[in-house]
Amino acid sequence: MSAAGSVPGHGGHAAVLRTIGRSLRRLWWLLLPLAAITALASIKSASAAATAFCISTALLLQFAWWVGGSSLSAQNHPDFARLVPGHLRQLREVAVALFVVIAVADGLLMHAVFGRFLMFTLIAGAAIVGFAVTMRWPWAWFVIWIAPWLVGPLFPDAGLWREVKALMRDWHEQQPLTQTALCMLAMAVVLWHLLQDGGVAHRRSWRMTRQIREMFSMKGGYSPRPPETRLGQLLVKPFTWGLPAWREHLLRTARPTAGSVVARAEIATMRGAHWSSILSAAGVVFLLLLITEIAALIWMPESQATQVLRNALPGTSLGVMSALFGPMLGATTSLYRTRAEQSLLVLVPGMPRGEAMNRVMARRMLTQFLLVLGSGAATLVLMVMLIPGEWSDDLPVMGLFFAATALPGGLLLWVDWARLRQPGAAQAVVMTMAMMLAMGMGVAGGRFFGLTPWHILVVTVPLTVVLGTWRWRAVRRMAPFWPVGRHADH
Amino acid sequence: MTHTLNQTPTPMMTMGGRAESQALADEHLAPPPVRASGLRVDFKGQPGVLAGLDWTLAPGQVVGLLGRNGAGKTTLLETLLGLREPQAGEVRLFGQPALAPDDALRARLGYVPQQSALFEDFPAADLLRYFRSFYPRWNDAKVDGLMSRWEIPRERRVSQLSQGQQQRLSIIRALAHEPDLLVLDEPVASLDAAGRRDFLRELVDQVLDRGTTVLFSTHILSDLERVAFNVAFLSRGRIALQAPQDALAEEIRLLSGPVGRLQAAVDAHGGQVLNRRDLGERPRWLVRFPGGQLPASDAALRCEALNLEDLFLELTQ
C-alpha cells in the first residue's frame, strides 16, 4: 500500500463489506426456499405469490442481518479496535448503513402487502437492534425472546406493558414520521455504541461473544469455561452436575469391554452434547417448570390457572425441545473439536476399531438421541396431563408435534464422521431451519388435518426404521468414525 | 530415496547404549517396533505427502524426526500409529498391522500429539485417573513423582494450566503406562529451556530403564543434538536420510566446485550423493562418505562439514 496515496482510516468499508459478503455468499441456497415458497404461492394466484415473496424476502433480509451482524461483531476485535486507525469507525458506519438499508427495505416489502411502511420499518429496525443487543449481551436473548413467553401469560393484564403499547400506538397515529425518525435515530445510536473500542469491557465481552459465536457457528471452537467467581460456580452447579457424576460412575465401574471403553471415551469427546450433560441441565429446568405449574394449579383459581398454563405452554414447549435438541445437534461441533482427544482414545486398550467401532458408536448415538427425545416428550406429556380440561387448540402441544416429527432426525448422526469437514454457519442454519420446519409441519398437520402427535408417530416410526436399516449398511461400510475429519482432505 | 546409515558406537550412544545394543541384538528375533513399507498419503490438491515411504525403527532407538513445516511429519506419525489410513502401503507395529491392533499392542503404545490443550474440562488429577482406567499397567509412583517434580497443580483444570504445564501433563500421561513405543509430536514446543532439559532427561531415563523405542518430531535442533541418537529427515514424502548423529558429522559433507571435480571426488571416495543444487558455475552436492574417507579441499573443490541445522537446510530445500 502506498503511504502517499492512502489516508489512514479510509477505504476500509469495502473490506468490511467483503468480509460480510463472504459469510453471506455461503448461504446463497437460502434463495431456493424463497423461490420455492413464491412458486408454490403462484399456483394459487399472482397476488398470493407477491405476498409470499415480500414476506419471505423481508424475513430473509432479517436473517441476512443476523449473518452480517455476527460478521461485524467478529471483526470488532479489541486489538484492532484499539490499534488500527479508523477500523472501529468503519465498522460502525457499515453497521448503521446496513441497519438503515435493511429496515427500509423490510418496511417497503411489508408495506407492499399490509401498508404502513413506517411502522414496519420501525419494527424491522427494532428486530435488527434487538439481535445486535443479544450479540453484545447474550443473556439479553433470554430477556427478549424467552422471558416474555414465560412471564407474559402469568400477567396478562400487566398495566405497564399495556400503557407502553398504547402510548407508542397513539404517537404513531399522530406523528408517524417523527416517531419513526426519532426511534430509528435512537436505535442507530445504540447500534453505533454496541461496537466497542478495545477497552477492558470490550476484551471481557469479546471472550464471551466469541464463545457464543463459535457455539452458534458450529465451528468447533466452543468450550464453555467454568465461572471463576464462587457465586457463578454456585449458580452453574445445579445445571452441570450430570457429566462429572456420570464420569465418576463410569470410572468406578470401568471394565475392559467395548461398551465401557466407548462410554468413557464419549464423556471426554461429547462434552456439552453428552446426554448426561443435556439431561442434567434440562432436568433441573423441567423440575422448575413442573413446580411452577403445580404451584399455579394449587394457588390460582382453576379457570385462571388453566388459561395461564395453556398460554405459557407453547413457549415452554418450544424452549424444552430446543434445550434438548440444540446440544444434541451440537454433537458435530464437539466431535470435530475433540478429534485430537479421539486420536489418543483410539489407541487405548478395549476401544473397538474398524467396522466394530462404527457399529458400537452408531448404536449408542441413536440410543442417546432417542433418550433425549423421549425425556423431553415425557416431560411435555406430564405437563399437558397436569392441566385440567379439554384442549381446544394444538399450540400447547407444539413440542410433542416436534418430537414426533423430528424422530427420523436422529439418523443425521449416522454420517461419515471420518470425512467430516469443519462445521460452518450454514450447517447451524440448516439445523435451525429444519427444527422450525419440523415444528411448523407438525402444527400445520394438527391444525389442518386434525392430526395428533400419535398420528405423526405412525408415519415417522416406520420411516425411521426403514431409513435406519438403509443407513445402517452404509455405516458399516464407512471408514472408522474416529478420529473424525481425518479424511476430509482426501 | 531412502538412506539408512549403520549405527556406530558413539559417546552419545553410551547413555542408552546398553538398552540399545541389547535391542539391536534382539532385532532379528523380535519384530521391529515400527516397520512401514510403501506408505502413500495424498491430500486433495497436495499429492505425495507421503510418497512410498519405507522406514524401520529398531527396538530401543531414539529417533528425532526433522522436516520443514508442512513436510508431513504429523501425517507420518499418525499413519505409523494407525490413526490415519494410507492410500497405499502398510505399517506394522511390533509385527501387527497398525490399523488393527489388539489390546496388548495398544498397551505398548504411547502418544503425545502436537496439540497439548486436550481434555480441557478435566482437572489434571482426574485426567490421569481417567486414563488409568483404560490401561492394565500404570506406574503411579512415576506419575506422582513427575507431577510433583514438574509442579503441576492436580486440582486445576487442564484449560487453566499454562501451555507448558499442559504439555508436561500430556507427557506424563503418555509415560504412565510404560509404553514400549513412545511417539511424540513436537513434545517440547511449549516448554522453556529448563522444562525441555528435564523432559529430555526423563526420556533418556525411560530408554535406559525400559529400552523404550522413542520417535519424536521437533523443530528445536539443539534438543536433538542433546538426546536423539538417530536423526531422520523427512523430505518430499520420504525419509531422505536417517543416521546416528556422530555418523552425520563424520560422513556427510557439502561439496562445491565444478561438476567434473565433484563427480571425481564422489567416485574416488565411494560417496553417495544425497542432494544436488545447481548454483551456476559452482554447484553444491550433499554427499555421504560411508567409509569416512573424505576428499580434501583445494582451490577447485570445497569440502565442508555441516552442523545439524545446515544439514537440515541442505537436505530439505
B101 contacts chain A (CB < 8 A): yes
Task: Search chain A and give the residue with CA nearest B185.
Answer: A340
Amino acid A437: pLDDT = 67
**Do B230 and B12 form a contact (C-beta atoms < 8 A)?**
no
Instruction: Give the tens place of pLDDT for each residue, A314-338.
Output: 667 767 776 677 666 678 888 888 9
Strands B252-256 and B302-305, bridge-based pairing: antiparallel
Phi, psi (rounded to 5 degrees) for A196: -100, 170
CB nearest B100 (choices: A267, A351, A354): A354
User: Which one of A233, A255, A269, A348 would you mutate to disrupt binding with B, by most B Cβ within 10 Å of its Cβ?
Assistant: A348
Asked whether residue B7 carries a pLDDT value surpassing 50, the answer given is no
Distance between CA B245 and CA B64 in Å, rounded? 10
Chain A residue numbers with beta carbons less than 8 Å from the beta carbon of B157 are 226
pLDDT-based confidence at residue A153 (cuts at 50, 70, 90): low
Whole-angstrom distance, CA of residue B58 vs CA of residue B66: 18
Say which residue, A442 or B231, is predicted with more confidence.
B231
Higher pLDDT, B299 or B149: B149
Instruction: Check B113 against A340: CB less than 8 A apart.
Output: yes
Whether the link from the prior residue into A483 is cis, omega within 30° of 0, is: yes
CA dist., res. A22 & res. A20, Å (int): 5
User: Which chain A residue's Cα is nearest to B84?
Assistant: A486
- Is the model's pLDDT at A447 over the cut of 70? no
Residue found by looking up cell 562439514 in the block: B305
Instruction: Note the pLDDT of residue A431.
Output: 66
**Spatial separation of the C-alpha atoms in residues A253 and A438, rounded to whole Å:** 40
Question: Which residue is closest to A343 within chain B, CA to CA?
Answer: B83
CA A274 to chain centre: 18
B118/A247 touch (CB, cutoff 8 Å), yes or no: no
pLDDT at residue A22 above 50? yes
What strands, in cross-sheet order, belong to the sheet with B88-93?
B46-57, B34-43, B88-93, B96-97
Please answer whether residues A380 and A309 qualify as being in contact, where contact means their C-beta atoms are separated by less than 8 angstroms.
no
Q: How would residue B16 be classed by pLDDT, with cut points 50, 70 and 90? A: very low
Q: Are A115 and A39 in contact (CB under 8 A)?
A: no
- Least confident window among A87-91, A179-183, B86-90, B201-205: B201-205
pLDDT > 70? residue A410:
yes
Neighbouring residues of B27: CB distance < 8 A, sequence distance ≥ 6: B58, B59
Contact A350 B103 (CB under 8 A): yes
Q: What is the pLDDT of residue B141?
A: 94
pLDDT at A102 over 80: yes
Phi and psi torsions of B134, nearest 5° = -90, -25
Mean of all residue pLDDT scores within chain A: 81
Q: Does the distance separating the beta carbons of A254 and B133 come in below 8 Å?
A: yes
C-alpha cell at B306: 555441516
Q: What is the mean pLDDT of chain B?
A: 85
Chain B positions in Cβ-Cβ contact with residue A214 (cut-off 8 Å): none
Check if the beta carbon of residue B225 is closer than 8 Å to that of residue B58: no
Amino acid identity, position B170: S
Question: Which of A256-265, B94-103, B264-273 has the least mean pLDDT?
Answer: B264-273
Question: Could you tell me what percent of chain B has a pLDDT over 70?
Answer: 91
Three-state DSSP class for residue B254: strand
Look at residue A145 in the predicted model and tell me its pLDDT.
64
Rounded to whole angstroms, the Cα distance separating A160 from B131 reads 58
Q: Which three cell numbers stand for residue B167?
A: 504439555
**Residue A8 near residue A86 (C-beta atoms within 8 A):** yes
Q: Are B229 and B61 spatial neighbours (Cβ–Cβ below 8 Å)?
A: yes
Residue A379 pLDDT class (50, 70, 90 cuts): confident
> For residue B316, how many other CB atoms are within 10 A of its CB?
16
Q: Which of B130, B131, B160 to mutate to test the interface with A (most CBs of A within 10 A)?
A: B130
B118 vs A: CB within 8 A: yes
- Distance in Å from the first CA to the final CA of chain A: 38
CA distances (Å), A442 to each of A37, A456, A459, in order? 18, 8, 12
For residue B118 the three cell numbers come to 486436550
Q: Is the separation of the CB atoms in B152 and B165 below 8 Å?
A: yes
Least confident span in A286-295, A420-429, B174-183: A420-429
Is there a contact between B284 and B316 (Cβ–Cβ < 8 Å)?
no
What cell numbers appear for A83 in the block?
490499534
Query: Cβ A256–B103 below 8 Å, yes or no?
Result: yes
* Residue A59 confidence (pLDDT): 87
CB of A402 within 8 A of CB of A442? yes
Chain A within 8 Å of B97 (Cβ-Cβ)? Answer: no
Contact B135 A348 (CB under 8 A): yes
Confidence of residue A302 (pLDDT cuts 50, 70, 90): confident
Residue B173 CA to residue B157 CA, distance in Å, equals 15
DSSP codes of every residue in A229-288: SHHHHHHHHHHH-HHHHHHHHHHHT--SSHHHHHHHHHHHHHGGGSHHHHHHHHHHHHHH
Give residues with Cβ within 8 angstroms of A160, minimum separation 6. Answer: none
> Bridge-partner residues for B230, per DSSP?
B63, B244
Distance from CA of A282 to the nearest CA of B (A): 20
Which residue in this structure is represented by grid cell 458450529? Answer: A218
- pLDDT over 70 (residue A486): yes
* Residue A9 pLDDT grade (very low, low, confident, very high; cuts 50, 70, 90): low
Rounded-to-integer distance, Cα B277 and Cα B284, Å: 5
Q: Answer yes or no: is pLDDT of B11 > 70.
A: no
**CB-CB: which of A271, A340, A487 is closest to B121?**
A271
Residue A385: partners with Cβ closer than 8 Å, 6 or more residues away: none
Question: Chain A residues with CB inside 8 Å of B133's CB?
Answer: 250-251, 254, 264
Residues from chain B contacting residue A247 (CB–CB below 8 Å): 126, 130
For residue range B193-245, what is the model confidence (pLDDT) as tens digits? Answer: 888 888 888 888 877 778 899 999 988 787 777 776 789 999 999 998 898 88
Domains located in chain B, CATH noted: 13-246 (3.40.50.300), 248-316 (3.30.70)
Provide the pLDDT confidence category of residue A94 given band limits of 50, 70 and 90. Answer: very high
Residue A362: pLDDT band (50, 70, 90) is very high
Q: From CA A67, how far away is CA A170, in angstroms rounded?
A: 34
Q: What is the pLDDT of residue A152?
A: 62
Structure-block grid coordinates of residue A41: 404461492
Is the separation of the CB atoms in A408 and A464 below 8 Å? yes
> Is residue B44 within 8 angstroms of chain A, CB to CB?
yes
Most confident region among A170-174, A235-239, A386-390, B103-107 by mean pLDDT: B103-107
Residues of A near B (CB-CB distance < 8 A)? Answer: 223, 225-226, 243, 247, 250-251, 254, 256, 261, 264, 267-268, 271, 340-341, 343-344, 346-351, 353-354, 479, 483, 486-487, 489-490
Specify the pTM: 0.74
**Taking a C-beta distance cutoff of 8 angstroms, is the pair A340, A482 a contact?**
no
* Contact flag A350-B134 (C-beta cutoff 8 Å): yes
- The number of residues making up chain B comes to 317
Please give, rounded to a whole number of angstroms, the shortest distance from the CA of B300 to a CA of chain A.
47
pLDDT reading at B130 higher than 90 = yes
Give the model's confidence band at A219: pLDDT under 50 very low, under 70 low, under 90 confident, else very high.
Answer: very low
For residues A166-184, one letter each, b for 16 or more C-beta atoms within 10 angstroms of the residue's C-beta and e for the rest, the string is: eeeeeebeeeeeebbeebb
Q: Which of B44, B83, B114, B131 to probe by mutation at the A interface, max A CB count within 10 Å?
A: B83
| pLDDT per position as a tens digit, A24-56 | 887 777 777 778 777 877 877 888 888 888 988
- pLDDT of A126 > 90? The answer is yes
Q: Contact A340/B118, CB-based, under 8 Å?
A: yes
Chain B nearest C-alpha distance from A251 (Å): 6
| pLDDT-above-90 percentage for chain A | 28
ipTM score of complex: 0.82
B276: pLDDT strictly greater than 70: yes
CB atoms within 10 A of CB B168: 28
What's the pLDDT score for residue B29? 66
The arithmetic mean of pLDDT across residues A62-87, rounded, is 87
Question: What's the pLDDT score for residue A38?
Answer: 79
Residues A394 and A436 sit within 8 Å (Cβ to Cβ): no
Helix, strand, coil % (nearest 5) of chain A?
Answer: 80, 0, 20
Question: Strand pairing of B88-93 and B96-97?
Answer: antiparallel
